[in-house]
Amino acid sequence: MTSQASSIKKFHDLHIPGNPIMLYNIWDAGSAKAVSDSGAKALATGSAPVAMAQGFADGEQFPLELALANIKRILKAVDLPVTMDLEGGYGADAETIESTVKQAISTGVVGFNFEDQIVGGDGLYDTATQGTRVAAARKAADSVIASAFINARTDIFLKHKPDAHTQAMLDEAIERAHAYEQAGADGFFAPGLADEKMIETLCEQVNLPVNIIALPHVPAKAKLIELGVARISYGPVPYRKMLKALAQWASEEFA
């Protein structure tokens, strides 16, 4: 098996603007093996499909101990770098975040998503507060192994419909990206952002590799590559497609 340290380095190296790492999000060991066998270079869980596959809602409703057990099974099934969606760290305070991150990194994952929305509450943490939270996550990760990849996510754009995205939102996202970078983040994730010019500007003005999620309303992969995106993920889309196909096959059999 590949060592965790070498997997972390490989994962970092795969984040290239204009030649992005493609992460077709998985939810369990079986889906991980299927995507790995398809030619993937790395894998990522998504909190929504992981939770929904076990009958839970998204938003840290899937207990952390079950999420950790699930990621351990995934890691045993494949020999690729695997990054985990940790949502908001399963807590608001630094102590809880540090505990969550230490447990996650100790499983062997190469990194994790860490979001700035207030899970179970309203809105986002302010930039300074989230910067402190990212710093706590960085400290905890480094206490286990150096350089684990923290993909700092902002939910600015997910909180509004695409046609309501404004320059002010983009400016705030750029400000947050800079703050999260200073706090120790390795990547910046802006799910929901779909406007080509805004994506291009984000990629130009943020030092961190930018992650965009390939939702139906988002530009095609070729365009995202052209705009300078360094990481393309798919979130709950693969799981929902799989469920749709399963339901169709089942309905044909029961007709």
- pLDDT by residue (tens digit) across 165-178? 999 999 999 999 99
The confidence score (pLDDT) of residue 56 equals: 98
The confidence score (pLDDT) of residue 2 equals: 81
Amino acid at position 186, single letter: D
CB 109 within 8 A of CB 75: yes
What lies within 8 Å, CB to CB, of 249 at 6+ separation is: none
CB atoms within 10 A of CB 180: 30
Q: Is the pLDDT of residue 1 over 90?
A: no
In the chain, alpha helices (H): 4-13, 29-37, 47-53, 64-77, 94-106, 127-144, 167-183, 196-205, 221-227, 237-254
Domain count, the chain: 1
Question: Across the beta sheet with 21-23, what order do the strands follow?
Answer: 21-23, 231-233, 210-213, 187-189, 149-153, 111-115, 82-85, 43-44
The Cα–Cα gap between 99 and 222 comes to 39
DSSP one-letter code for 60: T
Which tokens is 255 given? 């007709």
- CATH code (residue 42): 3.20.20.60
Q: Which tens digit of pLDDT belongs to each residue from 17-65?
A: 999 999 999 999 999 999 999 999 999 999 999 999 999 999 999 999 9
Domain enclosing residue 191, as ranges: 4-254
The Cα–Cα gap between 12 and 220 comes to 24
